[in-house]
A and B are shown apart, each in its own frame.
Chain A
Amino acid sequence: MTAAFDVETVRKAWEGYETPLVWGRYPVEHDPIRRYCHMVDDLNPRYLERGECPPVMVDYFASAGPWPPAELDIISLVRRIPTPGDRLVNLGHEFEWFRTARVGDRLGSRHRVLTVELRKTRLDPLSVWIRTGTTIVDGEQRIIAERINQIMVHRAAGDAARG
Chain B
Amino acid sequence: MAEPQRCWEDVVAGDALDGFSLPLTMTRMVQQVSGTQDFYPVHHDSAFARDGGHADIFINTGFIRAALCRLATDWAGDAGFLKRLAFQMRRPHLRGDTIAVRGRVARKWRDGDNGAVELDVWIENPRDGVATPGSATVYLPSRTA
Using a CB–CB cutoff of 8 Å, the interface residues on chain A facing chain B are 32, 35-42, 44, 46, 54-56, 60, 65-66, 75, 87-97, 100, 122-124, 149, 154, 156-158, 160
Contacts and interface: CB of A to CB of B under 8 A. Distances in A.
Interface stretch (B10-18, B79-87, B108-116): B79-87
Contact of A160 (B50, B53, B70, B84): B53
A93 B89 CA distance: 8
Please report whether the interface of chain A is mostly helix, strand, loop or mixed according to DSSP.
Answer: mixed
A156 B86 contact: no
Contacts of B31: 35, 38-39
Interface of B: 20, 22, 28, 31-32, 34-40, 42, 50-54, 60-70, 73-74, 78, 81-90
A93 B65 contact: yes
A123 B36 contact: no
A57 B55 CA distance: 28
Contacts of B85: 55-56, 93-95
Contacts of A32: 37
A90 B88 CA distance: 9
Contacts of B88: 91-92
Nearest to B134: A93
A96 B84 contact: yes
Nearest to A122: B53
Q: Nearest 6 pairs between A and B by C-beta? A: A39-B35, A157-B53, A39-B31, A94-B86, A42-B70, A90-B61
